[in-house]
Structure 1
Amino acid sequence: MTNLQVGGVPEHFNYPWYLTLKNKEYTKENINLRWRDYPGGTGEMCKALRSGEVDIAVVLTEGIIKDIAAGNPSKIVQTYVKSPLIWGIHVAENSRFKEIKDLKNATIAISRFGSGSHLMAIVNAFNQGWNIDDLKFKVVGNLQGGIDALKNGEADYFMWEHFTTKPLVDAGIFRRIDDCPTPWPCFVIAVRNEVLEHNYDAVKKVLDIINNTTSTFKNIKNIDITLANRYEQQLTDVQKWLQLTTWNDGKPITKNLITRIQNKMLRFNVIKEKKKATDFIKNMYL
């Protein structure tokens, strides 16, 4: 039995992993796969990959590219969700900020440096024509930290996935000023190099299983109701999210895509230099 640890955010994007684990699909292939939630997001998972705490991570594309460029000994093996992630730009309900232009010199709550909430704040600032060097950040750890920081005035705005935070908007905890979609496919699957070296076949089987499930995920009977109940979302919001979300069908991530993403990240000043696309990816579908 091959033991593997996989990590991801406890959000609706990763419900296909729950289904495959519930159905013991990995066990049938002699793989003991264990899931671990990372509410702190991609920055927390990059750290876990580096330490060996997890073997496989479902991470935000921009975060893992930045971290591999900085020395994370892992490779991206495929895209997981190929549609963009929609980041809501949130302030406290009673905040004096009304429009996105009002946030120019405001303090940004981020889960940690190198996380999606950090990198997308930079992307948003670039889109607005602001000086990225002037951005002020407050590290808050996770979504709850963002709620607390906006509530007590330690930070002014917080970017997190639109649909995950929609219940907080509905409850009057957050007020969403705008959205900022990622200019690239949002989630990828990354694997530690050591695991690829020693358990390549097992990783390949894991990918085959999850891709088989995501390929028919939207066709599962009453999946919208299941997701709405599990993640405490409005049914109409889940239905809209399902329409907007496209999982990868098992095609490998291309060198061209990595190069294009690096070009954008370089322009956004998220990375300082481009590296070879082959430094980031491992093609499991030769």
Structure 2
Amino acid sequence: MKQVNIGGVPEHFNLAWYLTLKDGEYKEQGINLRWQDYYGGTGAMCKGLRNGDIDIAVILTEGIIKDIIDGNPSKIVQTFVQTPLNWGIHVANDSKYQTIEDLKGTKAAISRYGSGSHLMAYINAENNNWDLEKDLNFEVIKNLDGAVEGLTNGVADYFLWEKFTTKPIVDDGVFRRIGNCPSPWPCFVIAVREEFIENHPEDLKTILNIINNTTEDFKNIPSIDKTIANRYEQKLDDVQEWLSITEWSQELIDKKTVMNVQKELFALNIIPEIVDYESLIYKI
């Protein structure tokens, strides 16, 4: 049986993978798909793809586009979540900062350079007309636990992370959310190492067919809201709100979207050049 390694964040977006793995759907097709949680997010997964620790990643669109341009030997094969990611802007509960404008020139906690939390700090700064050189400072905190520690201890001042994932931390009075910053594009794509695409195209098609069959009908799974609430320790009404605004995709990301992402990243000096659509994607 062929072993295939896949990585993603341990968040509600990826429950469909857990359900298909639990049901043994990949093993029925002769594929031993091994899921790995990446608490460090996109930056850590980019490293995993480069090192060959994983063959496939469910990863933030802007992060993998940046890393492929930087030399990651992978390609985007599909959009996974079509809707934008709604990033909450968080401070410690007892922080003196009350508004986004108060954060100008302070220190953003980021999981690592090149991560979503890093790139979205730039988007937030641009949205608020900050000076990108003078008004942005960073502290690497590795993951969500690191952010809790960093903001509580004052080594960083604010942190961008998906707002429903951090909602329990806000409800517990650890973080305070002072604003939101939606990503200007579909949030998650599926990226695959070129070596795997070349050598195992049929296995890749099988994996995508299985996950797409589940995401197409995901919202109609009986009691899916209760399953998510229990598994991810979230309030049922928060989960229902999240489900109402989230759409999955079974299609390849289109050229216009990829170009929009690149234009934004290039304007922010996050990527050195804008590359051809074909050098970032692979059409199955």
* Structures share fold, TM-score greater than 0.5: yes
Larger mean Cα displacement after TM superposition, 179-188 or 126-135: 126-135
**What is the aligned partner in structure 2 of residue 231 from structure 1?**
232
Retained in 2: the 8 A contact 1:253–1:283? Answer: no
**What is the aligned partner in structure 1 of residue 24 from structure 2?**
24
**What is the aligned partner in structure 2 of residue 48 from structure 1?**
48
**What is the aligned partner in structure 1 of residue 120 from structure 2?**
120
Q: Which amino acid aligns with 1:223?
A: I
2-structure distance, mates of 1:201, 1:281: 17
CA displacement, residues 163-196 of structure 1 (integer Å, 9 cap, x when unaligned): 0000010000000000000000000000000000
CA displacement, residues 230-276 of structure 1 (integer Å, 9 cap, x when unaligned): 0000000000000111000x222222321122112222332221011
**What is the aligned partner in structure 2 of residue 199 from structure 1?**
200
Structure 1 residue matching 2:133: 3-state secondary structure: helix
**What is the aligned partner in structure 1 of residue 83 from structure 2?**
83
Q: Which amino acid aligns with 1:110?
A: I
1:162 and 2:163 are equivalent in the alignment? yes
1:63-102 matches, within 5 Å, as 63-102=63-102
2-structure distance, mates of 1:120, 1:270: 11
**What is the aligned partner in structure 1 of residue 132 from structure 2?**
132
CA displacement, residues 117-146 of structure 1 (integer Å, 9 cap, x when unaligned): 000001000111011112110000000000
1-structure distance, mates of 2:223, 2:268: 41
**What is the aligned partner in structure 1 of residue 174 from structure 2?**
173
2-structure distance, mates of 1:45, 1:164: 18
CA displacement, residues 79-121 of structure 1 (integer Å, 9 cap, x when unaligned): 0001000000000000000001000011000000000000000
Give ranges in structure 2 of 5+ residues lacking alignment: none
Instruction: Give RMSD over aligned pairs.
Output: 0.7
Retained in 2: the 8 A contact 1:89–1:158? Answer: yes
Which runs of 4 or more aligned residues in structure 1 lie more than 4 Å from their structure 2 counterparts after TM superposition? none
Q: Give me the TM-score of the superposition, normalised by structure 2.
A: 0.98
1:224-263 matches, within 5 Å, as 224-248=225-249, 250-263=250-263
Deviation at 1:161, TM superposition (A): 0.5
1-structure distance, mates of 2:94, 2:253: 43
1-structure distance, mates of 2:178, 2:263: 28
Q: Which amino acid aligns with 1:143?
A: L
Query: Identical aligned pairs, as a percentage?
Result: 58
CA displacement, residues 49-97 of structure 1 (integer Å, 9 cap, x when unaligned): 0000000000000000000000000000000001000000000000000
Structure 2 residue matching 1:35: 3-state secondary structure: strand
Retained in 2: the 8 A contact 1:48–1:54? Answer: yes
2-structure distance, mates of 1:128, 1:272: 23
**What is the aligned partner in structure 1 of residue 144 from structure 2?**
143
1-structure distance, mates of 2:192, 2:3: 14
Q: Which amino acid aligns with 2:255?
A: K
**What is the aligned partner in structure 2 of residue 14 from structure 1?**
14
Retained in 2: the 8 A contact 1:263–1:274? Answer: yes
**What is the aligned partner in structure 2 of residue 267 from structure 1?**
267
Structure 2 residue matching 1:118: 3-state secondary structure: helix
1-structure distance, mates of 2:101, 2:255: 36
1-structure distance, mates of 2:119, 2:258: 16
